[in-house]
Amino acid sequence: MWTDTTTEVTAVRVEPLRPLLITNPPVIDGILDEPFWKLAPHVSGFKTFVPDFDVVPKEQTDVALAYDRENLYFAFRCYDDPGKIKASVPPRDKMLSDDFICINLDSFNDKQGLTAFYVNPLGIQADSRFTANNEDFSPDFIWYSAGRTDSLGYTVEVQLPLKSLRYKNDDPTVMEVVLERYISRRSEHSCYPRMDPAKGSAFLTQMYPLAYSGVDHYKLVELLPAVTATRQDVRSGPASSAISRREGRVSPQSMG
């Protein structure tokens, strides 16, 4: 995630995108075969912001958005040559040298900080909190992801439980997002919405609003720190079809 909260600009008001409300949740397996994914709102038209601003990437990205009363769902289709995709199975938070997608979410819609949810093409996770120009990878949130490579590139499904997020008790509940993709072999970051070159990569002032109606609201409880055990073995090499499903732990940082 690339952000610069020191840039002082005025955010432009845009009409919120309304993800599709569903009653039957998807199976988080990286296979985008649920019929509602075709009916859900899609965003595409990603533009680069690193190394250059406002360039249409050679590899296109399409994202579908849905939700139910308890979860937010995202489905990414990342087009690419499958032989050039970089993916590995490292410990949590150690996959940022791979190709990845990232959901940069201001769930409280206060422009004070972001929660970033990273997933590589095999479904391996990283997550962080970004505030005051500092990105902290120590929080481990509870969420679910799966990834799969195929002849068109790779797909990722993400489930973000609302219990893991801070958000306002409004209806509709409005959150803001920047959807990001990183291609390792080019060190190329692209995103939706596009970053205005005049404003730099200040995510917090250029996010896209999402409106969720009828979601459940929870009283969040602060938890004591937990010890997290991580795997030390790392496997790298060419990407191949695989599914990985990982979950984290709620930390005090995730409570606010």
Per-residue model confidence as pLDDT tens digits over 195-244:
999 988 889 999 999 999 999 987 654 443 443 333 333 333 444 444 44
Give 17 or 3, the one with higher predicted confidence. 17
Cis upstream peptide for 41 (omega within 30°)? no
Per-residue model confidence as pLDDT tens digits over 75-94:
999 999 999 999 999 999 99
Nearest to 161 by CA among 50, 252, 248: 248
Per-residue model confidence as pLDDT tens digits over 143-200:
999 999 999 999 999 999 999 999 998 999 999 999 999 999 999 999 999 999 998 8
Spell 180-198 as b/e; 16+ CB within 10 A means b: bbbbbebebbbbbbbbbee
Does 2.60.40.1190 match the CATH number of domain 20-255? yes
Checking if the pLDDT of 114 tops 60, the result is: yes
Give 109 or 237, the one with higher predicted confidence. 109
Question: Is 147:181 a contact under the CB 8 Å cutoff?
Answer: no
Checking if the pLDDT of 248 tops 90, the result is: no
pLDDT for res 217: 83
Checking if the pLDDT of 13 tops 80, the result is: no
Q: Can you give the length of the chain in residues?
A: 256
Task: For residues 189 and 135, give the distance between their C-alpha atoms in angstroms, rounded to a whole number.
Answer: 17
Per-residue model confidence as pLDDT tens digits over 44-83:
999 999 999 999 999 999 999 999 999 999 999 999 999 9
Amino acid in position 75: A
Query: What is the rounded (10 degree) CA torsion for 113, 119, 125, 128?
Result: -10
Distance spanning both ends of the chain, measured CA to CA: 20
